[in-house]
Every structure is written in C-alpha cells, then in structure tokens.
Amino acid sequence: MSEKNCMDEKISNEMQKLLKKYSKDKSNLIQILNQVQEKYGYIPKQAQFEISNYLSIPMAEIYGVITFYSRFNLQPKGKYSISVCLGTACFVKGSQALLDRVKERLKIEEGQTTPDGKFSIDSTRCVGACGLAPVFTVNNKVYGKATVKDLDEVLDEYMKKND
C-alpha cells in the first residue's frame, strides 16, 4: 500500500470517529470543518470526501465553504505561518513591500509552503492592528510598524531555529 493510501486510510478512520459526534445534519458542516482544521491544520481532501458522504453534501459545496472562509486551509501550513496584512492602513504604509520581500526570501508564493515544511506565506485583509501599520504576523504573533529590515531580522531568527 502506498504512503498516500495509508494516509488516506488513517484520515478516513479518524474522520469516522469525529463524524460520529455529529448528527447527519448539513447545519453541522462548519463545526465539523472547524474540528478538522484544528486537528490537521488544514482540510485534507480525504476528510472532505468523508464529510461529503456523511452529510450527503456534494464535494463542490464543501469546497465552496472551505474557500469562502479564510480560516480554512486546503494545504498544510508551515511550522511558521507568515501572514502580511494588506488592509488599507497597512497597504498605504508599505505592506506590499513586506509581502514581496518574504516571497523573495522564501522563494515561494502566497498560499505555498517551503519544501522543508518550515514556512508558509499568506496575506490577510486586516489583523485589527491598524495603529501599528504595516503589520505582519508569524503564527499569530504581531510585528507592527514593520520595515523590510525588521522582516529580514525576524525571518533570520526563525530560520536559525532547529525545533
């Protein structure tokens, strides 16, 4: 059995246990997705398939819900998830330069994870820290009034970590 099939089978078994906690009511979809997101850090395709069968909801509808809510991810995130705020206050104060720099440094695009699984990059529309603009976060730790130099220093520190 291939590694992918083993992983799919493991997720399938775990999903059966998780789904038993819920009635087969479509209104439970968001709660189920939240639990899956917490467990895996993203919503694996096999989990979507299991949810689809359990709730009798088409896969396309589940995909639509996952992609509508920014909380849900379709791909695993890096150990250090970097998010750059592109909300109005941050954008006006130069956050696009921060996003461009992190993409250049890590050699990946938004929504991607480095091959070693250490970093991922996303942008967000607002983190609610407009007074600190421009802002970026690493695993929800906020770095405000950030410059490209600040970003480089933070990245250097996280790159040194061997945990």
Half-sphere exposure of 23 (CA within 13 A, CB side): 3
Instruction: Say whether both 56 and 86 belong to one domain.
Output: no
140: left (phi over 0), alpha (psi -120 to 50) or beta: left
Give the separation between CA 26 and CA 65, rounded to whole angstroms.
12
- Is it the case that residue 163 has pLDDT exceeding 70? no
3-class DSSP assignment, residue 123: strand
Instruction: Say whether both 84 and 135 belong to one domain.
Output: yes
Instruction: Say whether both 57 and 90 belong to one domain.
Output: no
Nearest one of 61, 126, 62 to 89, comparing CA atoms: 126
pLDDT-derived band at 88, boundaries 50, 70, 90 = very high
Percent of the chain with pLDDT over 90: 77
Residues present in the chain in total? 163
3-class DSSP assignment, residue 48: helix
Q: Which domain holds residue 121?
A: 80-160
What's the mean pLDDT when you consider all of the chain? 93
- Is it the case that residue 3 has pLDDT exceeding 70? no
Task: Say if 11 falls within a structural domain.
Answer: yes
Task: Say if 73 falls within a structural domain.
Answer: no
- Is it the case that residue 23 has pLDDT exceeding 90? yes
Domain tally for the chain? 2
Give the separation between CA 122 and CA 128, rounded to whole angstroms.
16
- Is it the case that residue 1 has pLDDT exceeding 60? no
With 0.95 as the threshold, say if the pTM is over it: no
Give the separation between CA 125 and CA 84, rounded to whole angstroms.
9
Amino acid at 96: Q
Instruction: Say whether both 43 and 106 belong to one domain.
Output: no
Task: Say if 48 falls within a structural domain.
Answer: yes
Are the beta carbons of 30 and 62 closer than 8 angstroms? Answer: no
Each residue's pLDDT tens digit, 132-152: 999 999 998 999 999 999 999
Instruction: Say whether both 84 and 109 belong to one domain.
Output: yes
Specify the pLDDT at position 4. 65
Percent of the chain with pLDDT over 70: 97
Instruction: Say whether both 149 and 89 belong to one domain.
Output: yes
Each residue's pLDDT tens digit, 25-72: 999 999 999 999 989 889 999 999 999 999 999 999 999 999 888 788
Specify the pLDDT at position 70. 75
Are the beta carbons of 42 and 75 closer than 8 angstroms? Answer: yes
